Structure 1
Amino acid sequence: MSKYKLKKKGLQSAIRKIFDRQPDQKYNAKEISAILQITDKNMRKLVLSILNDLKSENFLNEFQKGYFILNDSFTNHFIGTVDSTSRGAAYIVSKDRDGDIYVSQENMNKAFHGDEVEVEIIRQKKHKTEGRITKIIKRKAVKFVGTLDVRKKFAFLILDNNKINVDLYIPLEKLKGAKTGQKVIARMTTWPKGVDSPYGEVLKVIGSPGNNDAEMYSILFKNEFEITFPQEVIEEAETVGIELDQEEVKNRKDLRDKLTFTIDPFDAKDFDDALSYEVLENGNVEVGVHIADVSQYVQPGTAMDAEALKRGNSVYLEDRVIPMLPEQLSNMACSLRPNEDKFAFSAIFELDEKGNVLKEWFGKTVIHSDYRFAYEDAQDVIEGKSDTLKEEILAMDKIAKTIRKDRMKNGALSIESEEVSFVFDEDGMPNGVVKKVSKDANKLIEEFMLLANKRVALFVGKLPGDKGSNNQFIYRCHDKPSLEKLKTFSVFIEKFDYDLEFENVNNVAQKINGLLEKIKDAPEYGLIQTMAIRSMAKANYQTNNIGHYGLSFDYYTHFTSPIRRYADLVVHRLLQDKLDHKQKNYGNTLNEISEHISAQERKAIESERESNKFFQAKFLQDKVGEEFEGTVSGLADFGMFVKMNDNHCEGMITMQSLPNGSYYFDNDKFQIVGRRNDEVFNFGDQVKVKVIGVDMLKKQVDLELV
């Protein structure tokens, strides 16, 4: 019997250490057994089995038959970023390997979500690599927001971030006057060895749970967005005046005599884009897409530019906007407000009646917006309810519809995300829900913005002579969907008796578009459209152009919203370099910017989603006990989600609360099935539910089946 009575897991770890310490030494099973003082026959067989396992994992090479040596190309340690789950485990995402490394809660070694860590691989299976965190290289955050629980001799901060699975222990003398139940920002000060929770101190009280300002501040803080601008940024912004520099006006194409107008949401303040329209003598039309020239005011190397890059984009919460640029620029100097002269970066196209681009011009301009339409106003013109700029709006609508039709024919996806927004009273309480519908006026603007983005990408990003793409540029890319996700989508829509088979990705758009057109008036339309979006890859920014699958464009970028997206500001600068015939080499800078702003975009989306969840809970807070018709919108092993048909809010029915006995989730069939009866719940089922509870802390609505 072995001296150490080693089990397989411990034995494998011990064998790994032998080879790690002697990377140039070869060993056979007998020699390894001798080093570990293993004499038992069965244990020696286990040693040989482990050596072969380590060979199949590429940790070892078989130097000659029966003799093993450390594989030079194999590394057992990786540097990566912690992506935690709400249950305490995590996946380590490393640039040095293809797949993620799973780390169980007991192997986290005090690491938090977002930390940069060193991880050691401890187990490798066919579809799963497991590891343990050996070192925290850099903490992502040491400041946290949460709700205080003050006890007699100490306090705990229950963190808002459900991806961090510990509370912060706070001594009473470190509370700074904060009371139990308040939301605060606290700093982690130390984490003593052998103690379950890190120690901290309160830095700032931000309000009470359920208060709009406190909750929105919490969401933004958790996702690392600042509400206020640094003083030096404010001071720079205050030097920017509304009046145009007349010397700069002389350097630009003057388009102030062109009929120009904006179409935006009724409550918009930051007008990024304007359109101009003119019928030419040859019968063609000239459409100008005029974009706020933020690059005139925000120069590289300034505090405003550094802050805009840090933020990456504006964040649109339900009841407020956190702008990328100070309001002096976003709502005043840069905004293309009506009846004011403004600097713009313009893309001007000569188009025939089918929307084909016959000529194009890009450059710096000065414009004057004559009209400011809300989407509803422009829609009234299209529907014949208003005559304001009737000829121009109808002509542009006709061209936009032709361009859109061609885009769909070329393989673009006709999917629109379902957006719901809240109506607020004077006290900031949500008292109504509005479902946003994309009508012809929205699509008119969308098509001309897509045209400008596409043509700028072709102009700057496409190398002459069909030689590929310029990697000194930022593209907006969207990868092809995976067949695995599409198969999941196929199984999902079978629940509604629809049949789509995806043999390859070439005809996906055509099939999904056909299905959505067929069911556009069906009650399950919104749910199927949402699931179609989830089956697609996520768009991002890259210097390596792979095209945009969803739009069916080989070249695409973001040029049309520099007030609210840093990507567009950089694209403006790159476009100007091209126009000035400057060939700059940015090295890896553009790649780093692309990665950063893609990450910031994901955080903004998460913030917006959390904001919506909070106001859903707040809207339903006084409706506990009321019953609603709803649609099953999600299924999981812990229960099912139901979206209420009238108010579009979503809640959850736990598995335990389902009536008539126990239920389980059938992962293969995507169903919740009763163990003691024949009852089955599918996506899209129409059900009646009662609101039985609202947890404002968790932003969660609890339902039960009626």
Structure 2
Amino acid sequence: MGKKYKKAGKQMNKKELTERLMLLFREKANGSLSLKYIFAELHLVTHPLRRLCMEILLEMVDDDYITETDKCQYRINNRGVEMIGTFYRKSNGKNSFVPNGSEESIFIAERNSAHAMNNDKVRIAFYAKCKNRSAEGEVIEILERANDTFVGTLEVTKGYAFLVTENRTLANDIFIQKNKLKGGKTGDKAIVKIVEWPNRAKNPIGQVVDILGRTGDNTTEMHAILAEFGLPYVYPKAVEKAAEKISEGISKEEIAKREDFRSVTTFTIDPKDAKDFDDALSIRKLEGGLWEIGVHIADVTHYVEEGSIIDKEAEKRATSVYLVDRTIPMLPERLSNLICSLRPHEEKLTFSVIFQITAKGEVKDSRIAHTVITSDRRFTYEEAQQVIETKEGDFKEELLTMNTIAKALREKRFDNGAINFDRYEVKFEIDEKGKPISVYFKESKDANKLVEEFMLLANKTVAERIGKVSDKKKAKVLPYRIHDLPDPEKLDNLAQFIARFGYKLRTAGTKTEVSKSINRLLDDVQGRKEENLIETVSIRAMQKASYSTHNIGHYGLAFDYYTHFTSPIRRFPDMMVHRLVTKYMDGGRTVSEQ
């Protein structure tokens, strides 16, 4: 049974009548429609409307949208070319479809969306264009749902219930039978899975997966945010149990296999609210004006066996998530905050990159080794910064020496063409109930940059050790962190945009010349009212960094080789790199790029 059409108003215009005619022909695509049937179905009773209808029908014939099969008999030409691609739902009803391998979009009217949701993989019929109209299609099959679970607030009545979502890409609330509520009540935040959406039904039918708590409660709202973005908000009990079985102790046999740095001055520098300390720095003076700097990284893969339940969960999560008032760890807290965390005055197993380096930042030698350390001090960034500024406090000589070396390393990076996107970070101070009480800017000072430079140096060195080989040899496989050159067209657009504010940008020349021009721009806008705008637009002109086994270097850092090695507690790619480097150090053969 077709759609019921409203009676045509006397003032219906040509555009509205064209829409109704196109819809009618699509619904009756398998047969011919008589003029009499069209008039009756669309309730065209006045002579002006009937004349307008006949005028539109002639235009549709001319446009090859329909064919006149007999006198006053019309049929849509065909269902058009079928395509597979992605459906994009818009809150304003201007939905679109992008075919696989193309960037050109095709309009999909709401009536032709077949309940497709945002990012669904669908098959559409592409219709012939009608005069003065853009390309249009109709969803004929939903091949794969991008998302079938939604977060919202329950509304429960006597006979039924709904989930009211704030998701603008889901046009209607989700209907829930009362026996599928899992005890949910009106006002509860819940996760609901869509199980059915009949073709002619306005609302999808769903069932409650989980009750998050009462709307307005801080923990409930935080869990709702995580669930809405498909992020885990609880840790599986089986994974927690597996972590409980891992011993904190370190055997003498394990220590004997490693380089011993327990007596070398070592400390961590982290945010004041951090618990997952995955990197530490050691320093000792050598002969000939050299310093030995050790970058010690938690040896997570010593404890997490590849393919284990903990490893699979970490791979699924990919990274720790940092919210304003909590951390959702990639690893169980027993590992991230206790066993692997490089806490002060505790023996810890580490994977280290050790440098022999001058005060001017010239690396004379480096090595990678499995080590054991004991951190002498846990600094916050603020505490380390105070020592640097006042030249007083714990380990002042060590911190000041490291700061001198870090500044030299940083200067060399920028001389080589690194880009200085050093933006302020907005932070919130919250009370014990999770309510924000103040907002402030977090500024990156010398202590932050000190840690950053040594982490960058370690990541670069690991990538070079594996990837930098002679022409006759083939480098072993490693996931590199790569960053491609900016798109010339985007750079030209950026140059045109900033010209309105009186700034210039060099868009042609060597990599270093262009990057230095970008740095000059970022320096020039500092402290000006347009600073945030121009920094944001400049970042968007850059390519996005990504992981790849095909190394092209890192443009933003001005490194030919770069990987992620220094954060295995909170990034799964770093765990992968640790395993591969260990394998290669032990003489193992290269792995498949897949």
Normalised to the residue count of structure 1, the TM-score between the two structures is 0.69
Q: Select which of 478, 483, 486 maps to 1:478.
A: 483
Secondary structure at 2:287 match in 1: coil
Equivalent residue number for residue 460 of structure 2: 454
Secondary structure at 1:195 match in 2: coil
Equivalent residue number for residue 51 of structure 2: none
Tell me, yes or no, if the aligned pair for 1:115 and 1:136 is still in contact at 8 Å.
yes
How has the CA–CA distance of structure 1 residues 86 and 252 changed in structure 2, closer, same or farther, with 3 Å as cutoff?
farther
Tell me, yes or no, if the aligned pair for 1:418 and 1:530 is still in contact at 8 Å.
no
- What is the alpha-carbon distance in structure 2 between the residues aligned to residue 86 and residue 491 of structure 1? 32
- What is the alpha-carbon distance in structure 1 between the residues aligned to residue 562 and residue 275 of structure 2? 27
Equivalent residue number for residue 500 of structure 1: 505
- What is the alpha-carbon distance in structure 2 between the residues aligned to residue 83 and residue 345 of structure 1? 45
- What is the alpha-carbon distance in structure 1 between the residues aligned to residue 157 and residue 492 of structure 2? 52
Deviation of the 1:406 alpha carbon: 1.2
- What is the alpha-carbon distance in structure 2 between the residues aligned to residue 572 and residue 91 of structure 1? 43
2:101 aligned partner, one-letter code: R
- What is the alpha-carbon distance in structure 1 between the residues aligned to residue 356 and residue 330 of structure 2? 33
- Stretches of structure 2 that go unaligned for 5 or more consecutive residues are 1-17, 31-56, 68-80
2:138 equivalent to 1:104:
no
Equivalent residue number for residue 261 of structure 1: 267
Question: What is the root-mean-square deviation in Å for CA atoms of aligned residues?
Answer: 3.5
Give matches, 1:110-121, under 5 Å.
110-119=115-124, 121=126
Deviation of the 1:211 alpha carbon: 2.2
- What is the alpha-carbon distance in structure 2 between the residues aligned to residue 475 and residue 487 of structure 1? 29
Give matches, 1:315-334, under 5 Å.
315-334=321-340
Give matches, 1:33-52, under 5 Å.
none
2:176 equivalent to 1:170:
yes
Equivalent residue number for residue 186 of structure 1: 192
2:237 equivalent to 1:231:
yes
Deviation of the 1:142 alpha carbon: 2.8
Deviation of the 1:140 alpha carbon: 3.3
Give matches, 1:269-668, under 5 Å.
269-465=275-471, 470=476, 472-500=477-505, 502-503=507-508, 506=511, 507-588=513-594
How has the CA–CA distance of structure 1 residues 42 and 323 changed in structure 2, closer, same or farther, with 3 Å as cutoff?
closer
- What is the alpha-carbon distance in structure 2 between the residues aligned to residue 124 and residue 218 of structure 1? 43
Cα deviation digits, residues 297-351 of structure 1 (max 9, x gap): 1111100000000000000011111000000000000001111110000011112
1:483 aligned partner, one-letter code: P
Deviation of the 1:419 alpha carbon: 1.2
2:379 aligned partner, one-letter code: F
Tell me, yes or no, if the aligned pair for 1:88 and 1:163 is still in contact at 8 Å.
no
Tell me, yes or no, if the aligned pair for 2:156 and 2:186 is still in contact at 8 Å.
yes
- Stretches of structure 1 that go unaligned for 5 or more consecutive residues are 18-39, 51-74, 589-706
1:372 aligned partner, one-letter code: R
Equivalent residue number for residue 629 of structure 1: none
Deviation of the 1:428 alpha carbon: 1.7
Normalised to the residue count of structure 2, the TM-score between the two structures is 0.81
1:454 aligned partner, one-letter code: K
How has the CA–CA distance of structure 1 residues 123 and 220 changed in structure 2, closer, same or farther, with 3 Å as cutoff?
farther
Tell me, yes or no, if the aligned pair for 2:391 and 2:400 is still in contact at 8 Å.
no
Tell me, yes or no, if the aligned pair for 1:469 and 1:545 is still in contact at 8 Å.
no
- What is the alpha-carbon distance in structure 2 between the residues aligned to residue 395 and residue 190 of structure 1? 65
- What is the alpha-carbon distance in structure 2 between the residues aligned to residue 219 and residue 132 of structure 1? 33
- What is the alpha-carbon distance in structure 1 between the residues aligned to residue 166 and residue 562 of structure 2? 38
Larger Rg: 2
Cα deviation digits, residues 622-675 of structure 1 (max 9, x gap): xxxxxxxxxxxxxxxxxxxxxxxxxxxxxxxxxxxxxxxxxxxxxxxxxxxxxx
How has the CA–CA distance of structure 1 residues 90 and 538 changed in structure 2, closer, same or farther, with 3 Å as cutoff?
farther
How has the CA–CA distance of structure 1 residues 329 and 358 changed in structure 2, closer, same or farther, with 3 Å as cutoff?
same
Secondary structure at 2:288 match in 1: coil
2:232 aligned partner, one-letter code: E
- What is the alpha-carbon distance in structure 2 between the residues aligned to residue 446 and residue 82 of structure 1? 41
Secondary structure at 1:481 match in 2: coil
Tell me, yes or no, if the aligned pair for 2:298 and 2:568 is still in contact at 8 Å.
yes
Secondary structure at 1:206 match in 2: strand
Cα deviation digits, residues 159-182 of structure 1 (max 9, x gap): 233333332122445444433333
Give matches, 1:66-85, under 5 Å.
77-78=83-84, 80-82=85-87, 84-85=89-90
- What is the alpha-carbon distance in structure 2 between the residues aligned to residue 307 and residue 468 of structure 1? 33
How has the CA–CA distance of structure 1 residues 338 and 6 changed in structure 2, closer, same or farther, with 3 Å as cutoff?
closer
Cα deviation digits, residues 190-215 of structure 1 (max 9, x gap): 11121122112334332333322121
How has the CA–CA distance of structure 1 residues 368 and 43 changed in structure 2, closer, same or farther, with 3 Å as cutoff?
closer
Tell me, yes or no, if the aligned pair for 1:76 and 1:120 is still in contact at 8 Å.
yes
How has the CA–CA distance of structure 1 residues 176 and 307 changed in structure 2, closer, same or farther, with 3 Å as cutoff?
closer
How has the CA–CA distance of structure 1 residues 132 and 479 changed in structure 2, closer, same or farther, with 3 Å as cutoff?
farther
Cα deviation digits, residues 433-478 of structure 1 (max 9, x gap): 12110001100100110011111111123343287865x3211122
Q: Which deviates more, 316-325 or 360-369?
A: 360-369
- What is the alpha-carbon distance in structure 2 between the residues aligned to residue 232 and residue 6 of structure 1? 56
Equivalent residue number for residue 153 of structure 2: 147
Tell me, yes or no, if the aligned pair for 2:155 and 2:186 is still in contact at 8 Å.
yes
Cα deviation digits, residues 107-158 of structure 1 (max 9, x gap): 4322223434345555799xx9865443223333332211234456543322
Secondary structure at 1:344 match in 2: strand
How has the CA–CA distance of structure 1 residues 168 and 324 changed in structure 2, closer, same or farther, with 3 Å as cutoff?
same
- What is the alpha-carbon distance in structure 1 between the residues aligned to residue 262 and residue 96 of structure 2? 55
- What is the alpha-carbon distance in structure 2 between the residues aligned to residue 98 and residue 474 of structure 1? 28
Tell me, yes or no, if the aligned pair for 1:456 and 1:559 is still in contact at 8 Å.
yes
